[in-house]
C-alpha cells in the first residue's frame, strides 16, 4: 500500500494526498517529478525531496504552498513565480520550475501551487551552525557570507523584489558560497519605498521594526 511521506500512513492506490495528515504520498508523480521523501516545513510551505523523471531522476526539492481557491489566484501565482524564476544571480537559489497540483486535499481549496528548486545537501547556515556545536564563527568566515547575501539582496531589490524573511535558515550552503533562498513570502513591489498596507510576514526573531509595523522596504531586508 502507498504510504505518506510524513508519517507513513497507508493510503489507497492512486492517491496523491494522505487522507490522514495531508502529506504527499511517496512515489506519486507530480507533473515531471516523483515524490521521494519529506524534508521539512516552513512558515508558508512544506518541502519534499523529489526526482525529476525526464532528467534521469535528478534530485530536486518540491516546495508546496498553501492551497488556493480560484483561477485568478492561480494566475497571480504563475505570474509571481515566473518573475522569481527570472532572478539569475550567483548567490540566489534558482527556481527550476513551478506548477499547480489540481487534486483537492480533503476540505482544502482545489489548487495547490509549488516550486521546484535545486537540492542543497549541505543544508542552511542554521543547520551548519547546529551541526558544528553552536560555537561562534570568526569574522573571517562571516564576512564573505554578509557580502554574498548583500549582493543577492541588492540584485533582487533592483528587480523590484523584497525578500522579507532573510535569516540563517534561508541561506543555503553550496560549496564555499551561500545562496539566498525562500522567496515564498516575498513582495513583488517597489523596493525603494515603505509599504503601509502590506501584511506582516517573516520570522519574528529576524524581523526589522518596520516589518512589525507592516511597512517593509529594502532597509528591512538589510536589517
Which residues are the active-site residues? 164
* Positive/negative CA dihedral, 101, 105, 111, 117: negative
Q: Which three cell numbers stand for residue 133?
A: 556545536
Question: Are the C-beta atoms of 90 and 177 separated by less than 8 Å?
Answer: yes
Number of other residues whose CB lies within 10 A of the CB of residue 195? 17
Question: Are the C-beta atoms of 153 and 108 separated by less than 8 Å?
Answer: no
Amino acid at each position: 500500500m502507498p504510504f505518506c511521506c510524513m508519517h507513513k500512513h497507508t493510503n489507497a492506490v492512486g492517491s496523491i494526498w494522505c487522507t490522514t495528515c495531508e502529506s504527499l504520498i511517496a512515489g506519486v508523480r507530480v507533473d515531471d517529478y516523483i515524490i521521494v521523501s519529506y524534508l521539512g516545513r516552513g512558515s508558508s510551505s512544506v518541502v519534499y525531496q523529489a526526482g525529476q523523471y525526464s532528467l534521469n531522476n535528478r534530485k530536486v526539492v518540491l516546495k508546496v504552498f498553501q492551497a488556493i481557491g480560484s483561477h485568478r489566484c492561480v494566475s497571480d501565482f504563475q505570474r509571481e513565480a515566473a518573475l522569481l524564476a527570472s532572478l539569475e544571480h550567483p548567490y540566489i537559489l534558482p527556481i527550476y520550475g513551478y506548477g499547480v497540483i489540481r487534486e483537492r486535499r480533503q476540505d482544502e481549496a482545489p489548487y495547490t501551487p509549488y516550486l521546484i528548486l535545486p537540492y542543497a545537501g549541505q543544508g542552511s547556515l542554521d543547520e551548519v551552525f547546529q551541526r558544528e556545536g553552536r560555537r561562534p564563527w570568526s569574522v573571517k568566515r562571516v564576512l564573505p557570507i554578509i557580502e554574498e547575501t548583500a549582493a543577492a539582496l541588492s540584485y533582487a531589490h533592483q528587480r523590484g523584489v523584497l525578500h522579507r524573511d532573510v535569516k540563517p535558515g534561508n541561506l543555503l550552503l553550496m560549496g564555499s558560497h551561500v545562496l539566498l533562498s525562500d522567496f515564498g513570502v516575498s513582495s513583488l513591489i517597489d523596493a525603494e519605498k515603505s509599504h503601509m498596507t502590506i501584511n506582516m510576514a517573516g520570522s519574528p526573531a529576524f524581523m526589522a521594526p518596520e516589518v512589525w509595523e507592516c511597512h517593509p522596504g529594502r532597509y528591512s531586508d538589510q536589517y
